[in-house]
Copies of this chain bind each other. A is one copy, B any other.
């Protein structure tokens, strides 16, 4: 698996909980934001797709928390993509910017639905291929 996309982000204080670290649930926000930015990068838009009845739906999320992000941290969310039948698996890892340390190892499995039913993810395949990219299998 190799990364094909990344974004840089920064911890915001309100994302931290009473332990003074980024709350566990917030990493899913980071991963979602990275996926949606990736979609834009391949010229797809999550909100627009939704308005056309097409939804990218997460069916599974697995997060391994290696170390905690704290206020002021900058970090990089990296993304690779693998295909299994109708499922797309996003490998999404979060690295501390300054130290390069792996903070969270994420794996998010999703399917496309149209009017709530799973469909073949052709639009994603096409969008990837236009950028010279492909999901590994």
Contact = CB atoms under 8 A, between A and B. Distances in A.
Interface stretch (A44-52, A77-85, A88-96, A124-132): A44-52
Each complex incorporates copies of this chain amounting to 4
Given A47-B72, A65-B58, A25 B17 contact: no
Among A14, A16, A33, A46, find the residue whose CB has the most chain B CB atoms closer than 10 A: A14
A24 interface: yes
A104 B105 CA distance: 21
Contacts of A36: 12-13
B12 A33 contact: yes
A72 B61 CA distance: 24
Nearest to A105: B60
Interface bracket on A: 35 or more
A63 B65 contact: no
A26 B123 CA distance: 28
Contacts of A45: 71-72
Contact of A47 (B13, B46, B60): B13
A20 B47 CA distance: 8
B55 A60 contact: no
Interface of A: 12-14, 16-20, 23-26, 28-29, 32-33, 36, 40, 45-47, 50, 55, 57-65, 68, 70-72
